[in-house]
Amino acid sequence: MSTVSEPVSLSAPRGADAGLTPKQLADKYGLAVSGRRPGLLAYTKQLWARRHFIWAFATARLVAQYTDAKLGQLWQVVTPLLNCAVFYLVFGVILKNKDGFPAGTYTAWLCIGVFVFQFTQNAVQSGTRAISDNLGLIRALHFPRASLPIAFTVIQLQQLLISMVVLVGVVLISGIDPGRTWVLVVPALILQSLFNTGVALVMARIGAKTSDISQLIPFAMRAWMFLSGVMFSIQDKINSWPPFWQKVMQVNPASIYMDLVRHALAPVIYNKHVPQHQTLPPHLWTYGIAWAVVMFVIGYVFFWKAEEEYGRG
Amino acid sequence: MADTDLEKSLSVQDSDVAREPTVVVDDVHIVYRVHGAGSGKGSATSAISRIISRKRGSGVREVHAVKGISFTAYKGEAIGLIGSNGSGKSTMLAAIAGLLPTEKGGIYTNGQPSLLGVNAALMNELTGERNVILGCLAMGMTPAQVKARYQEIVDFSGINDKGDFISLPMRTYSSGMGARLRFSIAAAKTHDVLLIDEALATGDQAFQQRSKKRIDELRGSAGTVFLVSHDNNSIREVCERTIWIEAGELVMDGPTDEVVGRYERGERP
């Protein structure tokens, strides 16, 4: 520029490089455009290199969450239990839902549903805020941004694992004996975690661009909860529906993951020789695997596509 | 001692040796789009009318923050950026860090420049200790490296000089303490290009001395340091080259003594 005071600028290349334009100089020394999005494979490698960060972030957040509360970490278990108690009172006792289940199993059925649905619900909600609530961190340090929504899903998973201990207690108190099917909880939760990560990644990108979405999320989640049959059996209600809508209800991922865990922990509810038994929709595992893989891949690619834009402007 | 080094390095620059560039800024324009700058985004009626009329631009104002700046920085340089408030210094720095998109022109860098600003908060509800670990892990260190560097970072920051503050949440820190810890974390890693925004002015005297030493070390390990500051003395002490930016345009680019001298006298070339 003409405003540079010296005839020989400190910027000008010297020696062998003299006379190169800035662009040529950058190319010659292999300089890259600042802030450009890496390829999908390179991105995955970077993300893998930050796995310790993701874990440390999740643990730190989980610990910090209840630092102000006197009862501290106890709330992680008490909150969902109180939820269960309210649902039990309204849907179990007042609306008499528990009469439609094998004797004494409604509490276990309800609690599993509430805990499992909450895992997805929290992943969606914290995913939406993963970027917008952490702009300071994003603007201060360089790391693959997908670390944040993934870390928030890990937090929810850690929370669920704590709740699982309580859940096992509830199931045992309900008089359901431990069995071989309990092992199936592990693959079911792995699939749900993958699904949740995908959803959190999608919501993180949307939430980063449109903060209005966080106002809508609670309503959407409430609608999803009632349509998924968390506190009443949706299967009984949809029998008279047109086949298309029956199909739609059956592939609802929230119902699928709840049913997978319910069937694993309390198979007696679905036992055909027990009066009032529940029917399990077909192809649960197939749908569960498909949702997990498809949602994770879509979410990951969708989030990566806007990697260079998070925290900008 | 330092002055003779400086003269030596300046005389070397006159020779015909090709230098390795680390940051190339090529005719860069940066435009901010500010939403809600127009009248009453907050009122419901205006929001609805905006949605109905499908007009996007009504509430959006454009601010042309950087207007065609070009320069090239080389390995081992420490470059000061000066100019009055709102002249575009911090914007320029954020763009070099890759945090702001350029409207026109290109910024090419060697590796990933790291921006170190006093405003960039880590996680306030966590203890300083956790922040050190998280910050280092986020920068890509392995847990073993973090363990090895941890004590060094805490000592450097001087957070524990007046008692055990590192185990308290960061929200209890004074702004100076927070800035010191953040600088210490970011400076723990060797960066190819380190961008510092006003960080030096915040710490106390002892910390300023330590950070100047650390910046020299970073330059020694073949990096480039950019420093934005309103403290001309710290620019003089740290940088041998200074770029003067005013209203988004490059006014002057040259040896610090000359540029800062004319800046202080208000003599625009």
Q: How confident is the model at residue B87 (pLDDT cuts 50, 70, 90)?
A: confident
- Give the separation between CA A245 and CA B7, rounded to whole angstroms: 81
CA distance B67 to chain A (A): 11
Identify any residues that bridge with B67 across adjacent strands, giving them in sequence order. Answer: B29
- pLDDT, average across residues A11-32: 80
Q: Which residues of A touch B122 (CB under 8 A)?
A: 136-137, 140
Higher pLDDT: A102 or B123? It is A102
Identify the pLDDT of residue B200. 58
Sequential DSSP letters for B40-94: -SSSHHHHHHHHHHT--GGG-EEEEEEEEEEEEEETT-EEEEE-STTSSHHHHHH
In sign, the C-alpha dihedral spanning B193, B198, B202, B205 is positive
pLDDT tens track for B63-82:
888 898 999 998 888 899 99
Q: How confident is the model at residue A238 (pLDDT cuts 50, 70, 90)?
A: confident
A23/B32 touch (CB, cutoff 8 Å), yes or no: no
- Give the one of A17, A21, A34 whose C-beta lies nearest to B113's C-beta: A34
- Indicate if the pLDDT at residue A32 is higher than 90: no
Q: How confident is the model at residue B93 (pLDDT cuts 50, 70, 90)?
A: confident
pLDDT tens track for B154-204:
888 888 877 788 888 888 888 778 878 888 887 787 778 888 877 655 667
Least confident among A8-22, B53-67, B251-265: B53-67
- Give the one of B106, B250, B269 whose C-beta lies nearest to A33's C-beta: B106
Phi, psi (degrees; rounded to nearest 5) at A266: -135, 65
- Indicate if the pLDDT at residue B61 is higher than 90: no
Residue B23 in contact with residue B110, Cβ under 8 Å?
Answer: yes
pLDDT tens track for A147-195:
999 999 999 998 888 888 888 988 898 888 888 899 999 999 999 999 9
Identify the pLDDT of residue A204. 94
- Of A256, A116, A110, nearest to A171 by C-alpha is A110
Q: What is the residue type of B179?
A: A
A10/B241 touch (CB, cutoff 8 Å), yes or no: yes
- Give the separation between CA B27 and CA B67, rounded to whole angstroms: 8
pLDDT tens track for B99-110:
777 888 888 988
B110/A29 touch (CB, cutoff 8 Å), yes or no: yes
Phi, psi (degrees; rounded to nearest 5) at B68: 70, 55
Q: How confident is the model at residue B16 (pLDDT cuts 50, 70, 90)?
A: low
CA distance B213 to chain A (A): 22
Three-state secondary structure readout of A67-98: CCCCCHHHHHHHHHHHHHHHHHHHHHHHCCHH
Sequential DSSP letters for B154-168: HHHHTGGGGSS-TTS
- Give the one of B27, B97, B253 whose C-beta lies nearest to A10's C-beta: B253
* A209: three-class secondary structure by DSSP: helix
In sign, the C-alpha dihedral spanning A28, A30, A32, A37 is positive
Identify the pLDDT of residue A194. 97
Neighbours of A186 (CB within 10 A): 10
Q: How confident is the model at residue A301 (pLDDT cuts 50, 70, 90)?
A: very high
Interface test with B, best of A21, A31, A34 (most B CBs within 10 A): A34
Residue B162 in contact with residue B123, Cβ under 8 Å?
Answer: no
- Provide the pairing of β-strand B21-34 with B61-74: antiparallel
pLDDT tens track for A66-100:
766 677 777 777 887 888 888 888 888 888 877 88
- Give the one of B71, B122, B255 whose C-beta lies nearest to A136's C-beta: B122
- Of B162, B160, B170, B158, nearest to B134 by C-alpha is B170
- Give the one of A9, A17, A23 whose C-beta lies nearest to B253's C-beta: A9
pLDDT tens track for B197-208:
776 556 677 887
Identify the pLDDT of residue B202. 63
- Indicate if the pLDDT at residue A2 is higher than 50: no
pLDDT tens track for A39-51:
999 999 999 999 9
- Indicate if the pLDDT at residue A63 is higher than 60: yes
Identify the pLDDT of residue B12. 47
Identify the pLDDT of residue A5. 42
Highest mean pLDDT among A134-138, A142-146, A219-223, B5-9: A219-223
CA distance B118 to chain A (A): 9
- Average pLDDT over chain A reads 86
- pLDDT, average across residues A280-305: 94
Q: Which residues of B touch A6 (CB under 8 A)?
A: 253-254
A5/B169 touch (CB, cutoff 8 Å), yes or no: no
Higher pLDDT: B222 or A288? It is A288
- pLDDT, average across residues B144-159: 88
Q: What is the residue type of A27?
A: D
CA distance B206 to chain A (A): 24
Phi, psi (degrees; rounded to nearest 5) at B64: -85, 90
Q: Which residues of A touch B101 (CB under 8 A)?
A: 35, 308-309, 312-313
Identify the pLDDT of residue B144. 92
CA distance A128 to chain B (A): 18
Identify the pLDDT of residue A232. 81
CA distance B131 to chain A (A): 9
Identify the pLDDT of residue B163. 78
Identify the pLDDT of residue A150. 96
- Residue owning tokens 């002055």: B3
- Give the separation between CA B46 and CA B59, rounded to whole angstroms: 10
Q: How confident is the model at residue B244 (pLDDT cuts 50, 70, 90)?
A: very high
Q: Which residues of B touch A24 (CB under 8 A)?
A: none
Interface test with B, best of A2, A28, A31, A62 (most B CBs within 10 A): A31
